Amino acid sequence: QGAEKWCAVFDVNASCASFAIAYDNAVRILATNTSIKYALVIGVYNMPAFIRNDDNFSYPIFADGAGAVVIERDENTPSAYLGGQQLADGTQWDFIGIYAGGAHNPVTKEVIDANEQGLLSLKPLPGDRNVRLWPMVVKQLLANHKVQVDEVDHFIFTQINKSVIVKVMEALNQPLSKTTFVMDKYGYTGSGCVPMAFHHAVKEGTIKRGDKIVFMASGAGLAVGSNLFIY
């Protein structure tokens, strides 16, 4: 801090899928630039700052949180990044989000008086969206790298809804022992929840060196990112 560094720094804004997409980008930068040995990928969430006082739905769900991973380029380790799979659906831009702010729609007195600032849920999200979406993306990711679902040792999902994760694991025909839940500890921490859940799984010993891991994250927009790697 306070000194120039020969390094790159940038933000990825893909709502709650930001960490998974940033992770994929960071690995690819390391792979194509041999002068870079390490990358720090941080997922951060501060949605409570944008929740309106009268929003009784959002207050109990969203929380502040952050998680980070350090990636090292090392050809002599069994750890490896196998690949990522992304998906987007721009037709869902007006389902949920923060629509006031920036140059397009500045937060003015009129916007505040109309209660249009902060997080807005404009349309109901399809209740089964992630139940349908996540297994499809996971299967495509694994097929791209000729990995069978049963070969994956652990799955880390966006921690928005425990029952959704349970249904997704059922759709993948996988036991719940191969996933981790942390929403009961922290609330929903958006782009921070995947590295937070990963940290807990490693700390608790449910993820070990040499395990094949899948990260599966999705967020408003719709933006989706997934990763397959050997820890």
- C-alpha span between 183 and 57 (Å, rounded): 16
**86 contacts 225 by C-beta, under 8 angstroms:** yes
Question: Regarding the domain delimited by 1-96+123-231, which CATH topology (the fold level of the hierarchy) does it fall under?
Answer: Peroxisomal Thiolase; Chain A, domain 1 (3.40.47)
- C-alpha span between 24 and 43 (Å, rounded): 13
Q: What pTM value is reported for the model?
A: 0.93
pLDDT of residue 217: 98
pLDDT of residue 222: 93
pLDDT of residue 1: 59
**Residue 78: how many CA atoms within 13 Å on its side-chain side?**
6
CB atoms closer than 10 angstroms to residue 206: 15
pLDDT of residue 164: 96
The encoded tokens of residue 7 equal 């390094």
User: pLDDT digit of tens for each residue in the chain (231 aa)?
Assistant: 566 788 899 999 999 999 999 999 999 999 999 999 999 999 999 999 999 888 888 888 999 999 999 999 998 888 999 999 999 999 989 999 999 988 989 999 999 999 899 999 888 887 788 999 999 999 999 999 999 999 999 999 999 999 999 999 999 999 999 999 999 999 999 999 999 999 999 999 999 999 999 999 999 989 999 999 999
Q: Where are the domains of the chain?
A: 1-96+123-231
pLDDT of residue 54: 86
- C-alpha span between 133 and 224 (Å, rounded): 9
- C-alpha span between 156 and 144 (Å, rounded): 19
- C-alpha span between 226 and 230 (Å, rounded): 14
